[in-house]
Structure 1
Amino acid sequence: MKPPKKWKMAILIWIAIYPIITLMFTFLGPVFMQINPLPLRTLLITAIVVPLMVFVAIPLLQKLMAKWLYK
């Protein structure tokens, strides 16, 4: 099976990352805003987002959108 086209993966990643970041800032935004300096805050945010993307969101969306993704 050929890998999906890059533009399709870009859309898939955007579909995955947008709600994760939106929900994270909605519920944890005030907590993160108290963390200084900015590099530490960014480190903590990415430490949450990247594993969620790699191990949960992307595999789930690849299964749900496989027909379109590999077409």
Structure 2
Amino acid sequence: MKTKIKLIASLKIWLVIYPSITLFFYLFGQSLARLPMYQRTFLLTVSLVPWVVFVGVPLLDSIILHVSKKYNT
């Protein structure tokens, strides 16, 4: 994979994961604070990785495609 494509992919992932983690901790942070770190990390990753892979990034891709079509016409 070329460097430019890798940079774009990492930016897309970051644009999805950062607000997702922030929202996750906002909603569940107090409840999760009682758990040990390894359990919090497990719950965070088991819920957010599928979200990012199957929903977040594809949704962002469709938004980018829609916006780019709008500006190209």
Query: Normalising by the residue count of structure 2, what TM-score does the alignment of the two structures yield?
Result: 0.77
Deviation at 1:32, TM superposition (A): 0.9
TM-score (norm: length of structure 1): 0.79
* Higher RCO (Cα < 8 Å, 6 or more apart): 1
Task: Report the number of matched residues.
Answer: 63
RMSD: 1.4
* Bigger Rg, structure 1 or 2: 2
Q: Hey, which of these two has a bigger chunk of helix by percent? A: 2
Structure 2 counterpart of 1:9: 9
Q: List per-residue Cα deviations over 1:14-39 (Å, max 9, x = no partner).
A: 11011100111111101111112x11
> Identity, % of aligned pairs?
37
Structure 1 runs of 4+ off > 3 angstroms? none
Q: Output the CA distance in 1 between the equivalents of 2:29 and 2:39.
A: 14
* Structure 2 residue runs without a partner (length 5+): 69-73
Distance 2:6 2:41 in 1: 27
Structure 1 residue runs of 5 or longer lacking an equivalent are none
